Amino acid sequence: MTEKKALLLVGSPRGIEQSTSGRLGGRLLDALKERGFETDKLHVHAVVRSPTETERALAAVAWADLVVLSLPLYVDSFPAPVIALFERIAEQRVGAGRTRILLIIQCGFPESEQNATALAIAECFAAEVGWRWLGGLALGGVETYGGSAHEVLDLIGKALAEGRPAPDLAANKAMPAWLYRIGGNIMWRREAKKNGVARRLRAKPYAD
Ligand SMILES: Cc1cc2nc3c(=O)[nH]c(=O)nc-3n(C[C@H](O)[C@H](O)[C@H](O)COP(=O)(O)O)c2cc1C
């Protein structure tokens, strides 16, 4: 019988309550809880700072049969503290042959494809450590499109609780390139004005 113990690992320095990662992961955890899962959550950046907390985190990973790692994309990869914790898990082969892992990854750019390398990294990790890879929800520009992701997370929670494969995880509303350029230009002009350099946007200080 499938166990029902889910651990959410939040891999954003902004923490569990303030980050997009924490909010998305929390939503999935709530959906699992409503369907009889025991749940726990940890902020990765907080636990890796202390050896005692790291040991506690490794014990929590060993307790769980489902690990949901929710994190932001950093330079096409994971934030460093997430890598540090997952290296410890791999060294000790915590949960090998038993744990399932689902990734929720989201990035600042609007295209979800930006997350492809990080998804591949997580899948390799799962294969090497002997975890079952359940796939990943990869989202682009979530800070702009928060609402639609929540519906997908509820569906994933329902499928996992019923022992079914997760539904199509590629939930993303693509923003047309022209719209992104207009929005980006407005944002950079506003920032330049705020910092008193509105007239120097085309400056090339290192060109000469
Ligand atoms: C150091 C750093 C690196 C980042 N690298 C990328 C990147 O490679 N691609 C991208 O699309 N967004 C990148 N972002 C944007 C974040 O992924 C995005 O803002 C995310 O929504 C933050 O989620 P959080 O609130 O859970 O921390 C980066 C942000 C930071 C601070």
Q: Which residues constitute the domain of residue 131?
A: 5-174
Give yes or no: residues 57 and 128 share one domain. Answer: yes
CA 123 to chain centre: 14
Positions of the chain with pLDDT lower than 70, given as ranges: 1-2, 143-149, 151-152, 164-180, 208
Q: Which residues line ligand 1 at a C-beta cut-off of 6 Å? A: 12, 14, 19-21, 72-76, 106-109, 114, 142-143
Verify that 153 and 194 share a domain, yes or no: no
Whether the model pTM is above 0.85: no
Q: CA–CA separation, 125 vs 101, rounded Å?
A: 10
Rg of the chain taking only CA atoms, in angstroms: 19
CATH code, domain carrying 126: 3.40.50.360
Same domain, 33 and 76: yes
- Domain count within the chain: 2
> Looking at the structure, do residues 95 and 152 belong to the same domain, yes or no?
yes
Q: Are 183 and 161 members of one domain?
A: no
CA 57 centroid distance within chain: 17
pLDDT tens digits for range 67-123: 999 999 999 999 999 999 999 999 999 999 999 999 999 888 877 889 999 999 999
Which ligand 1 atom minimizes the distance to the CA of 24?
Answer: 26
Residue nearest to atom 27 of ligand 1 (CA): 12
Residues 70 and 165 in one domain: yes
| 17 lies in the same domain as 75 | yes
Q: Are residues 75 and 89 in the same domain?
A: yes
For residue 170, the model assigns a pLDDT of 52
Q: What ligand 1 atom has the least distance to the C-alpha of 10?
A: 26
Chain length of the chain:
208
Same domain, 35 and 123: yes
Query: Do 154 and 208 fall within a single domain?
Result: no
Token pair, residue 47, equals: 């636990």
Residues 166 and 190 in one domain: no
Instruction: Check whether residue 28 and residue 112 sit in a common domain.
Output: yes
Task: Supply the pLDDT for residue 83.
Answer: 98
